[in-house]
C-alpha cells in the first residue's frame, strides 16, 4: 500500500511564497494595480490579495487563471527564480 510522504510545513509553503513574490514582481514591472490584475485573471480582488500576502493557498484552477491572466507559465509562477517574468 502506497503511503504519501509527510510534508514538511516549510516545504509546503515554499510554492505559496514563490507565487506571492512573483505576482507582486509582475504587478510592479507592469505598473498594474491589484484590481487590474484581479480583473485580468478573473479573480476576486480580496482573494488575489490573500494569495499575494501568502494567506491563501491557490488551487490548480486558480493557478491556471493566474497563468492565463499574466501570460506567465504556472511553473514559472511557483518557481523560486522564474524565467523572465
Query: What is the reported pLDDT for 80?
Result: 83
Which triple of cell numbers denotes residue 82? 522564474
- Examine the pLDDT at 5 and tell me if it is beyond 60: yes
Stated pTM of the model:
0.78
User: Rounded distance, CA 41 to CA 69, Å?
Assistant: 4
pLDDT at 30 over 90: no
Domains and CATH numbers, the chain: 13-77 (1.10.260.40)
Cα gap 74→77, rounded to integer Å:
5
- Predicted pLDDT of residue 3: 78
Indicate whether 26 pLDDT > 60: yes
Amino acid at each position: 500500500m502506497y503511503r504519501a510522504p509527510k510534508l514538511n510545513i516549510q516545504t509546503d509553503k515554499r510554492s505559496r511564497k514563490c507565487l506571492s513574490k512573483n505576482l507582486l514582481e509582475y504587478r510592479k514591472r507592469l505598473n498594474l494595480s491589484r484590481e487590474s490584475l484581479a480583473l485580468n485573471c478573473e479573480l476576486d480582488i480580496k482573494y488575489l490579495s490573500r494569495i499575494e500576502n501568502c494567506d491563501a493557498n491557490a488551487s490548480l484552477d486558480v493557478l491556471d487563471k493566474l497563468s492565463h491572466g499574466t501570460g506567465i507559465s504556472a511553473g514559472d509562477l511557483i518557481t523560486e527564480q522564474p524565467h523572465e517574468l
